[in-house]
């Protein structure tokens, strides 16, 4: 297809397209620290797909992606090819660069238009990431409270959140997730509290 070109492996830039109900404080191109679980829970659509081709222009980077599975919501049927939009060359943080023929997990924003699938964040579709995403519990809120990033907004009730302080914010932070232990109790008032789960191996 004219205008589409395959991409060689390049350094990935994390696209930061705002969701309507998620606030970021931006310092240059670095986002307000948030967990992958928060990104997942705030995104209306999450799916896995293989990048078939790409076109990077000044305003947008446009990718044709074949859906292999829907994780959250329904982007389309399995095998359908959809167009997703990332940052173009003119963006101050650089363009969104994805490898053709590689599989990614896409979190999608519909902020601009319900018909425009904007990449909010993307992750390599490794078994580790797919397994971690399957454990995200959106009844639990991940709150970050660090000396250089104090907790913002109204805190969630104690049992409905995982509070990330300097102790939890280590090399395993982006491997962790917040969830409730399985319980046979159906009552909302008696369900188990949220807990933070992350690898306990020492950080090097």
Does residue 6 surpass a pLDDT of 70? no
Q: What is the pLDDT of residue 21?
A: 35
State the Cα–Cα distance between residues 41 and 64, nearest whole angstrom: 24
Mean pLDDT of 160-171: 95
- CATH 2.40.50.120 in the chain is located at 36-126
State the Cα–Cα distance between residues 60 and 21, nearest whole angstrom: 23
Q: Which CATH architecture has domain 36-126?
A: Beta Barrel (2.40)
State the Cα–Cα distance between residues 5 and 10, nearest whole angstrom: 14
**Backbone φ, ψ for residue 2 (5° rounding):** -60, 135
Mean pLDDT of 152-163: 92
Q: Percentage of the chain with pLDDT > 90?
A: 69
Q: What is the pLDDT of residue 26?
A: 34
pLDDT digits 0-9 by tens, 104-124: 999 999 877 788 999 999 999
Residues 89-112 as b/e (b if ≥16 CB within 10 A, e otherwise) read: eebeebbbbbbbeebbbbbbbbbe
pLDDT digits 0-9 by tens, 143-156: 999 999 999 888 99
pLDDT digits 0-9 by tens, 49-88: 999 999 999 999 999 999 999 999 999 999 999 999 999 9
Structure tokens at 157: 């009730």
pLDDT band at 97 (very low <50, low <70, confident <90, very high): very high
pLDDT band at 94 (very low <50, low <70, confident <90, very high): confident
Mean pLDDT of 164-182: 93
Number of H helices, E strands in the chain: 2, 9
Strands 117-124, 81-87: pairing kind: parallel
pLDDT band at 188 (very low <50, low <70, confident <90, very high): low
Does residue 19 surpass a pLDDT of 80? no
pLDDT band at 7 (very low <50, low <70, confident <90, very high): very low
**Ranges 99-103, 133-137, 151-155: which has the least confidence:** 151-155
Strand partners, 65: 51, 82
The burial class, CB within 10 Å (0-12 / 13-18 / 19+), for 162 is buried
Q: Which residue has the tokens 């948030």?
A: 34
């Amino acid at each position: 297809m004219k205008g589409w070109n395959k991409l060689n492996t390049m350094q990935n830039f994390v696209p930061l397209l705002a969701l309507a109900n998620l606030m970021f404080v931006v310092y240059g191109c670095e986002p307000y620290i948030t967990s992958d679980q928060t990104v997942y829970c705030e995104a209306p659509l999450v799916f896995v797909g293989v990048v078939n081709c790409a076109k990077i222009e000044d305003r947008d980077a446009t990718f044709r992606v074949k859906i292999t599975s829907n994780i959250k919501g329904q982007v389309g049927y399995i095998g359908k090819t959809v167009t997703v939009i990332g940052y173009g060359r003119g963006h101050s943080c650089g363009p969104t660069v994805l490898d053709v023929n590689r599989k990614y997990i896409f979190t999608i924003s519909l902020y601009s238009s319900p018909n425009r699938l904007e990449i909010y964040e993307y992750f390599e579709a490794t078994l580790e990431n797919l397994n971690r995403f399957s454990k995200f519990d959106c009844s639990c809120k991940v709150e970050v409270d660090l000396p250089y990033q104090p907790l913002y907004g109204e805190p969630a009730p104690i049992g409905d959140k995982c509070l990330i302080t300097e102790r939890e914010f280590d090399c395993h932070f982006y491997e962790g997730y917040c969830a409730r232990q399985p319980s046979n109790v159906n009552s909302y008032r008696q369900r188990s509290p949220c807990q933070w789960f992350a690898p306990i191996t020492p950080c090097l």
